[in-house]
């Protein structure tokens, strides 16, 4: 793939839309906002059903959605990409498609909470068992492993304390035990990390985050290495029904064209902010894979092109000080989500990770006073000033 596509990933993003409209040559992919497609004859309709070629019905295939899928597969260096209505539709389709009753899953303990919760609370009803462990230490994966383990699902860096799992070691271990490795790559995007290159079998993204980037659309994707597995997952997706709408695909294609620019600007800002916060007297601890005191700093440098734009911090004074900081910030938006062009700030214990018990949060290293910053593309000086003034108030 690399050899016949010699362009840099940032160039591929800018040209994500080239060549989609053969009829009029529109530079930007049109929104094929149709639920169904007219067959010119019964014979042609029959041919499309028999071969899967051409278009039948939007839940099965749609030209706008397909353009997004082709681009995402190319960016992640996968064989096929399957666009979904949300990131969680991608995760649940993957679970449905890869697992059967009696199977066991090992996953990252602090991963995006619903990815863990549906496994623990819903798939357990169908006799799929799971264990969620700190996957930044291979020893924990070894200990949790069972003969029935069929899937290792890691999020790295893991939301919200940004522990990093060793992608190559995870892939080798899973494969040596007859299992698959799936990676939630939402936090870094394909610009900074490409898990398939390290041996992962499936990559998941919430496109709602960096790829769309403008806080105005939801979406998800599964990117798959093996063509047969992709075809099987496609059948599951189509019949479960979590497919993407064409208008949504168009918005995300628009976001995708500036993905590399946004990721690079927000990461540049995050590096400055992490350095500033780690020297601040009111800050007890900063979690950022780009800081040399991060436990997986070296590993992160080896497997990712950069540490990304997510920073977590614990303000001195615990829960109340964290709340005071959040309420004082003016430019940072108090909102969940991440990877937006705007800087967002949230409190995991009361927001994104409130579905976990305090014990589960403690076991995953999520302090009750932890604050999570998703750094955006504003001017760094403005963000630093907002933080500086707000830290005075806590």
Ligand X SMILES: *Cc1c(COP(=O)(O)O)cnc(C)c1O
| Contacts with ligand X, residue ranges (CB under 6 A) | 86-88, 112, 115, 155, 159, 184, 186-187, 206, 208-209, 218, 220, 338
From CA 316, how far away is CA 361, in angstroms rounded? 19
311 vs 338, which CB is nearer to ligand X?
Answer: 338
Q: Which is nearer to ligand X, 63 or 160 (CB)?
A: 160
CB of 219 closer than 8 Å to CB of 189: no
Give the pair of three-digit tokens for residue 146: 């069972």
Q: Answer yes or no: are the C-beta atoms of 190 and 13 closer than 8 Å.
A: no
Please identify, using beta-carbon distances, which residue of 171 and 244 lies nearer to ligand X.
Answer: 244
Q: Measured from the CB of residue 15, what is the shortest distance to ligand X in angstroms?
A: 25
Residue 186 or 266: the one with the smaller Cβ distance to ligand X is 186
Task: Supply the minimum distance, in Å, between the C-beta of residue 207 and ligand X.
Answer: 7
CB of 161 to ligand X, least distance (A): 13
Kindly list the distances between the CA atom of residue 355 and the CA atoms of 121, 154, 271, in Å, as whole numbers in the listed order. 11, 19, 30
What is the smallest separation between the CB atom of 308 and ligand X, expressed in angstroms? 12
Ramachandran category for residue 318: left, alpha or beta (phi over 0 → left; psi -120 to 50 → alpha): left
Return d(Cα 258, Cα 268) in angstroms, integer: 16
Q: Which residues pair with 315 in a beta bridge?
A: 283
- Residue 322 CB-half CA count within 13 A: 22
Sheet containing 333-334, strands listed edge to edge, beginning at the edge strand earlier in sequence: 283-287, 310-315, 370-374, 344-346, 333-334
CB atoms within 10 A of CB 239: 12
The string of DSSP codes covering 253-285 is HHHHTTHHHHHHHHHHHHHHHHHHHHT-TTEEE
- Would you please indicate which residues are annotated as catalytic (active-site) residues? 59, 112, 184, 209
CB of 78 to ligand X, least distance (A): 18
Length of the chain: 394
Min CB(145)–ligand X separation in Å: 23
Among residues 299, 298, 300, 278, which one has the least CA distance to residue 287? Answer: 278
Q: Smaller CB distance to ligand X: residue 314 or 338? A: 338
Min CB(169)–ligand X separation in Å = 21
Site of tokens 């993407």 = 244
Q: Which residue's CB comes closest to ligand X?
A: 87
Spatial distance between the Cα atoms of 187 and 4, rounded to a whole number of angstroms: 28
- 244 Rama sector, left if φ>0, alpha if ψ -120 to 50, beta otherwise: beta
Residue closer to ligand X by CB (options 208, 258) is: 208
C-beta closer to ligand X: residue 208 or 266: 208
Best CA proximity match to 350, nearest among 375, 363, 369, 328: 369
Tokens describing residue 33: 């906002």
């Amino acid at each position: 793939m690399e050899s016949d596509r010699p362009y840099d990933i940032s160039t591929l993003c800018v040209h994500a839309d080239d060549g989609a409209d053969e009829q009029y040559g529109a530079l930007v992919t049109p929104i094929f906002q149709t639920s169904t497609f007219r067959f010119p004859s019964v014979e042609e309709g029959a041919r499309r059903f028999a071969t899967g070629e051409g278009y039948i019905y939007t839940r099965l295939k749609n030209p706008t959605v397909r353009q997004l899928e082709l681009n995402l597969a190319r960016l992640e260096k996968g064989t096929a990409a399957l666009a979904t209505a949300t990131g969680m539709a991608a995760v649940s389709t993957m679970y449905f498609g890869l697992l059967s009753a009696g199977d066991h899953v090992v996953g990252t303990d602090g991963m995006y909470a619903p990815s863990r919760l549906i496994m623990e609370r819903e798939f357990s009803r169908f006799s799929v068992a799971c264990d969620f462990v700190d996957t930044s230490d291979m020893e924990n994966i070894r200990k949790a492993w069972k003969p029935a383990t069929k899937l290792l699902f890691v999020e790295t860096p893991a939301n919200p304390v940004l522990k990093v799992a060793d992608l190559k070691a995870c892939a080798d271990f899973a494969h040596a035990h007859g299992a698959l490795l799936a990676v939630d790559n939402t936090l870094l995007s394909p610009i900074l990390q490409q898990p398939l290159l390290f041996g992962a079998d499936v990559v998941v993204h919430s496109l709602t985050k960096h790829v769309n980037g403008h806080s105005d659309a939801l979406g998800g994707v599964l990117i798959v290495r093996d063509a047969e597995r992709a075809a099987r997952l496609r059948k599951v997706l189509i019949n479960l029904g979590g497919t993407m709408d064409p208008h949504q695909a168009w918005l995300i294609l628009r976001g995708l064209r500036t993905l590399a620019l946004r990721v690079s600007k927000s990461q540049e800002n995050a590096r400055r902010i992490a350095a500033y916060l780690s020297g601040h007297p009111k800050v007890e601890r900063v979690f950022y894979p780009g800081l040399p005191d991060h436990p997986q700093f070296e590993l992160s440098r080896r497997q990712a092109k950069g540490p990304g734009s997510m920073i977590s911090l614990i303000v001195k004074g615990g829960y109340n000080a964290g709340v005071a900081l959040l309420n004082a910030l003016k430019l940072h938006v108090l909102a969940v989500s991440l990877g937006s062009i705007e800087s967002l700030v949230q409190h995991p214990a009361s927001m994104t990770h409130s579905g976990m018990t305090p014990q589960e949060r403690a076991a995953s290293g999520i302090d009750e006073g932890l604050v999570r910053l998703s750094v955006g593309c504003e001017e760094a000086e403005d963000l630093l000033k907002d933080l500086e003034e707000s830290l005075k108030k806590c």
